[in-house]
Amino acid sequence: MSTLKTINIEFPEEVVELYGEEELKRSVRKLNVLDLVKKGKLSSGKAAEILGMTRWDFMELMSEYYIPIAHFPPEELKKQAKDRGLI
């Protein structure tokens, strides 16, 4: 696992109270890791490791946030569909 670094982020007190400090930390970590995966800067395997979950569970999490598991250019999707007789 990666070395952890602590940073301080300021939130309004009401937000911290609504989430609870630990849940807020988990939520911020999760959303930032998802963002990095969505931008193609972090692999799903590494993201799962950072969040302490299986790759399968991470892929389910990605689907909850409408983040595609695979990225295919439109031409590639069309070619694969043609090759399989779907279009």
Burial 5-33 (b: 16+ CB within 10 A, else e): eeeeeeeeeeeeeeeeeeebeeeeebeeb
- Whether residue 1 is predicted with pLDDT greater than 80 in this model: the reply is no
Q: Which domain holds residue 56?
A: 13-83
Domain membership flag for residue 46 = yes
What's the pLDDT at 28?
A: 97
Domain count, the chain: 1
Cα separation, 80 vs 28, in Å, equals 38
pLDDT digits (tens, 9 = 90+) for 13-45: 999 999 999 999 999 999 999 999 999 999 999
Structure tokens at 83: 């090759």
What's the pLDDT at 78?
A: 87
Structure tokens at 38: 């969505």
Mean per-residue pLDDT of the chain = 93
Domain membership flag for residue 75 = yes
Domain membership flag for residue 8 = no
Domain membership flag for residue 1 = no
